[in-house]
Amino acid sequence: LGASPANIGLALARLVALNFLALLATRLGLGSWPCRRPSSSADGEPSSDGTEQPSVRELSALPASGAAMNRALLLEEGIASTPANGSVVSSPSEGDARASKIDATIAEQQNAVAKQQARYMFRNAALVVAYLFVAVSSVWMAIRIVNINVNTSSGQWQAFAEAVCLLMANFEFYLLKGLVIDATSDEPVHLVGMHNHPLYWTNSEGKGFCRCRVCNEKIGEKTGGYLNLQCRNCVPNNWGYGGFNVCVNCYRKRASKLADGQAKDAMSILRGDKGPKPEYKLTPWQYCCRVLVLLRPLAGISAVAMTSVCISQGLSAYLPKCQGDIMNALVSGDREKFHLNITRFVIIVAVISVVSFAKSVAVNTMYTRLYNNMAVGLFKALLRQDVAFYDHTMTGQLTARLTNDLSQATYPIPSIMNSLIANVVMLVVGFSVCLSDSWRLTILAFTFLSPVAYVNGLYARWASSIQASQWTYISDAQGGASQALTNIRTVRSFCAGDAELAKYEGHMRKSMDVGLKNAWGQGGATLLSGFLEQGASFIILYYGGLLVLDHDGFEVGSIITFSYLWNRLSSAFQGLNDNMNAPIKAMSAGQRVFEIMDLQPDISEETGAGPSGSRGMQVDFRDIEFTYQSRPDKVVLKKVNLTLEAGKTLALCGKSGCGKSTISKLLLRMYDPQKGSVLVNNVSLEDLHLPTYRKCIGVVSQETQLFRATIAENITYGMTDSEFTFADVEHAARLANADEFIRTLPEGYKTVIGEGGHDLSGGQKQRLSIARALVRRPQILLLDEATSALDAENEALVQEAIEAMMVEVRGQCTILIIAHRLSTIKDANRIMVLHEGEVVEDGTHEDLLSKDGRYAAMISRQLQGGKDTADDSPAAASREASSKISELFETLPDEERQALLKSLFAMCKGKGKGKAA
Ligand SMILES: Nc1ncnc2c1ncn2[C@@H]1O[C@H](COP(=O)(O)OP(=O)(O)OP(=O)(O)O)[C@@H](O)[C@H]1O
Which H, E and C letters describe 608-639, residue by residue? Answer: CECCCCCCCCCEEEEEEEEECCCCCCCEEEEE
Which residue minimizes the CA distance to atom 6 of ligand 1? Answer: 628
How much is the pLDDT for 516?
Answer: 87
Which residue minimizes the CA distance to atom 25 of ligand 1? Answer: 656
Is 351's pLDDT higher than 90?
A: yes
Is 158's pLDDT higher than 90?
A: no
What is the pTM for the complete model shown?
Answer: 0.66
Substitution candidate for ligand 1 out of 74, 273, 626, 628 with most atoms within 8 A of CB: 628
| CB burial readout 333-344, b (16+ within 10 A) else e | eeeeebeebeeb
Is 808's pLDDT higher than 90?
A: no
What tens digit of pLDDT does each residue of 26-52 get? Answer: 888 777 655 555 444 433 333 444 444
Q: How many CB atoms are located within 10 Å of the residue 93 CB?
A: 9
Dist. CA 223–CA 225, nearest whole Å: 6
Residues of the chain by 3-state class (helix, strand, coil), percent to 5: 65, 10, 25
Q: Would the CB of 658 count as within 6 Å of ligand 1?
A: yes
Task: Calculate mean pLDDT across residues 866-890.
Answer: 62
Q: Would the CB of 663 count as within 6 Å of ligand 1?
A: no
Which residue minimizes the CA distance to atom 7 of ligand 1? Answer: 628
Burial of 720 (0-12, 13-18, 19+ CB in 10 A): exposed
Please give the distance, rounded to the nearest whole angstrom, from the Cα atom of residue 655 to the centre of ligand 1. Answer: 11
245 vs 83, higher pLDDT = 245
Please give the distance, rounded to the nearest whole angstrom, from the Cα atom of residue 755 to the centre of ligand 1. Answer: 26
How do 830-835 and 814-818 pair as beta strands? unpaired
Residues paired with 752 in a beta bridge:
710
What band does 912 get if pLDDT is binned at 50, 70 and 90? very low
Residue 34, SS3? coil
What tens digit of pLDDT does each residue of 218-256 get? Answer: 788 778 888 888 887 776 655 555 678 888 888 887 776
Please give the distance, rounded to the nearest whole angstrom, from the Cα atom of residue 870 to the centre of ligand 1. Answer: 13
How much is the pLDDT for 68?
Answer: 37
Q: Which atom of ligand 1 is nearest to the CA of 820?
A: 25
Dist. CA 536–CA 559, nearest whole Å: 12
Please give the distance, rounded to the nearest whole angstrom, from the Cα atom of residue 801 to the centre of ligand 1. Answer: 26
Dist. CA 786–CA 763, nearest whole Å: 10
Q: Would the CB of 390 count as within 6 Å of ligand 1?
A: no
Task: Calculate mean pLDDT across residues 448-458.
Answer: 78
How much is the pLDDT for 37?
Answer: 52
Is 185's pLDDT higher than 90?
A: no
Q: Would the CB of 636 count as within 6 Å of ligand 1?
A: yes
Q: How many CB atoms are located within 10 Å of the residue 905 CB?
A: 11
Which residue minimizes the CA distance to atom 20 of ligand 1? Answer: 657
Is 577's pLDDT higher than 70?
A: no
For 246-287, give the DSSP string.
Answer: EEHHHHHHHHHHHTTT-HHHHH-S-EETTEEPPP----HHHH
What tens digit of pLDDT does each residue of 276-286 get? Answer: 887 777 777 78
Residue 197, SS3? coil
Substitution candidate for ligand 1 out of 640, 662, 674 with most atoms within 8 A of CB: 662
Q: Would the CB of 837 count as within 6 Å of ligand 1?
A: no
Task: Calculate mean pLDDT across residues 847-861.
Answer: 81
How much is the pLDDT for 221?
Answer: 77
Q: Would the CB of 827 count as within 6 Å of ligand 1?
A: no
Contact 732, 794 (CB under 8 A): no
| CB burial readout 472-485, b (16+ within 10 A) else e | bbbbbbeebbeebe
What band does 789 get if pLDDT is binned at 50, 70 and 90? low
Q: How many CB atoms are located within 10 Å of the residue 916 CB?
A: 10
Please give the distance, rounded to the nearest whole angstrom, from the Cα atom of residue 628 to the centre of ligand 1. Answer: 9
Dist. CA 832–CA 621, nearest whole Å: 13
Which residue minimizes the CA distance to atom 29 of ligand 1? Answer: 657
Please give the distance, rounded to the nearest whole angstrom, from the Cα atom of residue 842 to the centre of ligand 1. Answer: 21
Is 71's pLDDT higher than 50?
A: no
How much is the pLDDT for 87?
Answer: 36
Please give the distance, rounded to the nearest whole angstrom, from the Cα atom of residue 659 to the centre of ligand 1. Answer: 6
Q: State the greatest distance between any 2 C-alpha atoms of the chain, in Å, as a whole number.
A: 130
Contact 581, 461 (CB under 8 A): no
Contact 251, 212 (CB under 8 A): no
What band does 913 get if pLDDT is binned at 50, 70 and 90? very low
Q: Would the CB of 631 count as within 6 Å of ligand 1?
A: yes
Say which range, 397-411, 679-693, 864-878, has the weakest mean pLDDT: 864-878
Q: Would the CB of 660 count as within 6 Å of ligand 1?
A: yes
Q: Would the CB of 873 count as within 6 Å of ligand 1?
A: no
Residue 826, SS3? coil
Which residue minimizes the CA distance to atom 30 of ligand 1? Answer: 657
Q: Would the CB of 80 count as within 6 Å of ligand 1?
A: no
What band does 868 get if pLDDT is binned at 50, 70 and 90? very low
Q: Would the CB of 79 count as within 6 Å of ligand 1?
A: no
Which residue minimizes the CA distance to atom 16 of ligand 1? Answer: 659
Substitution candidate for ligand 1 out of 658, 664, 702 with most atoms within 8 A of CB: 658
Please give the distance, rounded to the nearest whole angstrom, from the Cα atom of residue 601 to the centre of ligand 1. Answer: 22
Please give the distance, rounded to the nearest whole angstrom, from the Cα atom of residue 661 to the centre of ligand 1. Answer: 7
Mean pLDDT of all residues in the chain? 78
How much is the pLDDT for 903?
Answer: 75
Q: Would the CB of 585 count as within 6 Å of ligand 1?
A: no
For the chain, what percent of residues have pLDDT higher than 90? 5
Residues paired with 544 in a beta bridge:
none
Q: Which atom of ligand 1 is nearest to the CA of 834?
A: 21
Determine the angle formed by the axes of helices 497-549 and 556-579, rounding to 10 degrees.
Answer: 140
Please give the distance, rounded to the nearest whole angstrom, from the Cα atom of residue 636 to the centre of ligand 1. Answer: 8
Q: ipTM of this complex > 0.90?
A: yes
Is 721's pLDDT higher than 60?
A: yes
Which residues, 6+ apart, have CB-to-CB distance to 784 below 8 Å? 660, 661, 664, 699, 700, 701, 702, 818
Q: How many CB atoms are located within 10 Å of the residue 462 CB?
A: 17
